[in-house]
Amino acid sequence: MTIARAHTNIALIKYWGKKDPTLIIPYANSLSLTLDQFYTTTEVTFADEAAHQDEFILNGQRLAPKATTRLAAFLELIRQRARVQRYFKVKSENHVPTAAGLASSASGFAALALAASTTAGLQLSSRDLSRLARRGSGSACRSIFGGFVEWHKGYDDQTSYAEPLQADQHVAMDIGMLALIISDQPKQISSRKEMANTVATSPFYDAFIQACEQDMIILKQAITQNDFVTLGQIAESNAMKMHATTMGAQPPFSYFLPETIQAIQAVQRVRREGLDCYYTMDAGPNVKVIGRASELETLQVRLTELLPNTPMVAARPGPGAMLLSDFE
Ligand code: PMV
């Protein structure tokens, strides 16, 4: 039995759009921060010899076979690579609201990649583990590592992987995030579906990809120079450019809820009051507020005054994927 844990990551430069949907090769590099508060713990064992499919239990509930196609296809990749025939039994606990734009697929596939590959007898390097996790969900390749992580888009399976920024720069930078839980309901449209539609139909998509290249240069410089304000400005702008692509798609679509706009306006107000904070959003209505780690409590108190009905969770930089146990 193997137990692995991986933490979610939130992108500061977003991954949005696949050049190769099968291998999950993106159109642009992306850069994220792994967080300590949201994670998935996954236990994997071999199923009985007689089993004729993989078995999945998520948060104590057995998943129906039709909900497991993507997971089973991912485990099949591991079986092929390890040259094993046996099916797996997977038990996973999400300490993340599932599918609410808090990147549960990132922590989920990163933990599953580590636990299942270890059970199958593969001893993958972190880079190979990142490449494997990528096949489950693109953003999962970044959750193999802690702190600031860049996903190099590459051009094929070998060259598309994530890597931590050197020298623990997240430790030097006084950075944290407040997750504002606007909705913990599963999202209306999956990132996978909306990404594909955006790439195919949005006239803003090419402009977004070009902007990502420029944003990446400035953001990495900001990290090296420990410049929190520039980091926040770029992350905020990059996220809104990503969301603009979906509004320009056909049919037009937005992950925003009315409460999302209220949260954004609250962040802007607190910033005008003098506390440096910036917002970012993924494929869901929740808002993550980027703040200085040393000011997160003050930020949370003030934002709670403005948004009294919005639960908030304060998070700091978190670690990469890890094994919690590995024994037969
Ligand atoms: O890895 P996926 O397919 O869940 O896509 C993640 C996309 C965003 O969260 C919106 C952006 C990102 O880079 O994490």
CATH code of the domain covering residue 215 = 3.30.70.890
Ligand 1 pocket: which of 282, 286, 288 to mutate (most atoms <8 Å of CB)? 282
Strand partners, 291: 176, 277
Mean pLDDT, rounded, for 36-51: 95
**Ligand 1 touching residue 212 (CB < 6 A):** no
Q: What is the pLDDT of residue 96?
A: 74
- 287 alpha carbon – ligand 1 mean position (Å): 14
Q: How many domains does the chain have?
A: 2
Q: Give counts: helices (H), strands (E), the chain.
A: 9, 14
Cα(172)–Cα(292) distance, integer angstroms: 11
Within this chain, do residues 191 and 283 fall inside the same structural domain, yes or no? yes
- Burial class from Cβ neighbours inside 10 Å (0-12, 13-18, 19+) for residue 130 reads buried
Ligand 1 pocket: which of 10, 107, 137, 191 to mutate (most atoms <8 Å of CB)? 191
Mean pLDDT, rounded, for 172-183: 92
Within this chain, do residues 290 and 191 fall inside the same structural domain, yes or no? yes
Provide the pLDDT confidence category of residue 188 given band limits of 50, 70 and 90. confident
Cα-based distances in Å from 274 to 93, 269, 294: 39, 9, 15
- Burial class from Cβ neighbours inside 10 Å (0-12, 13-18, 19+) for residue 116 reads buried
Q: Contact at 8 Å (CB) between 99 and 282? A: no
Express each pLDDT in 150-172 by its tens digit.
999 999 999 999 999 976 666 67
pLDDT over 90 (residue 236): yes
Mean pLDDT, rounded, for 188-196: 91
Q: Is 120 inside a domain boundary?
A: yes
The amino acid at residue 277 is C
Q: Is 326 inside a domain boundary?
A: no
Within this chain, do residues 178 and 293 fall inside the same structural domain, yes or no? yes
Please name which of 8, 9, 5 lies closest in space to residue 44, comparing C-alpha atoms.
5
Q: Contact at 8 Å (CB) between 92 and 54? A: no
pLDDT over 80 (residue 77): yes
- 47 alpha carbon – ligand 1 mean position (Å): 31
- 14 alpha carbon – ligand 1 mean position (Å): 7
Where are the strands (E) in the chain, listed by range?
A: 2-13, 18-20, 25-26, 30-46, 55-58, 61-62, 88-95, 148-152, 161-164, 176-180, 277-280, 287-291, 312-315, 322-326
pLDDT over 60 (residue 327): no
Helices 69-82 and 104-119: crossing angle, nearest 10°? 30
Within this chain, do residues 181 and 203 fall inside the same structural domain, yes or no? yes
Within this chain, do residues 180 and 303 fall inside the same structural domain, yes or no? yes
Within this chain, do residues 203 and 150 fall inside the same structural domain, yes or no? no
pLDDT over 60 (residue 63): yes
Least trusted range by pLDDT, from 77-86, 165-174, 270-279: 165-174
Nearest ligand 1 atom to alpha carbon 106? 1
Mean pLDDT, rounded, for 76-105: 84
Express each pLDDT in 298-324 by its tens digit.
999 999 999 999 999 999 999 999 999
What number of other Cβ atoms are within 10 A of residue 273's Cβ? 9
**Ligand 1 touching residue 286 (CB < 6 A):** no
The amino acid at residue 305 is E
Within this chain, do residues 18 and 106 fall inside the same structural domain, yes or no? yes
- 248 alpha carbon – ligand 1 mean position (Å): 19
Boundary (domain end) residue, out of 145, 169, 193: 169
Provide the pLDDT confidence category of residue 328 given band limits of 50, 70 and 90. very low
Boundary (domain end) residue, out of 149, 169, 189: 169
The amino acid at residue 217 is I
- 205 alpha carbon – ligand 1 mean position (Å): 15
Contacts of 71 (CB under 8 A, 6+ apart): 54, 56, 63, 90, 112, 136
Backbone angles phi and psi of 25, in degrees to 5:
-105, 120
The amino acid at residue 220 is K
**Ligand 1 touching residue 115 (CB < 6 A):** no
Q: Is 328 inside a domain boundary?
A: no
Mean pLDDT, rounded, for 48-77: 93
Cα(236)–Cα(281) distance, integer angstroms: 8
Within this chain, do residues 231 and 162 fall inside the same structural domain, yes or no? no
pLDDT over 60 (residue 247): yes
Q: What is the pLDDT of residue 172?
A: 78
Domain that holds residue 147: 2-169
Boundary (domain end) residue, out of 112, 141, 169: 169
**Ligand 1 touching residue 137 (CB < 6 A):** yes
Q: What is the pTM of this model?
A: 0.96
Provide the pLDDT confidence category of residue 65 given band limits of 50, 70 and 90. confident
Q: Is 323 inside a domain boundary?
A: no
- 303 alpha carbon – ligand 1 mean position (Å): 26
Tell me which of 311 and 184 has the higher pLDDT.
Answer: 311
Express each pLDDT in 212-227 by its tens digit.
999 999 999 999 999 9
Tokens of 159: 């060259």
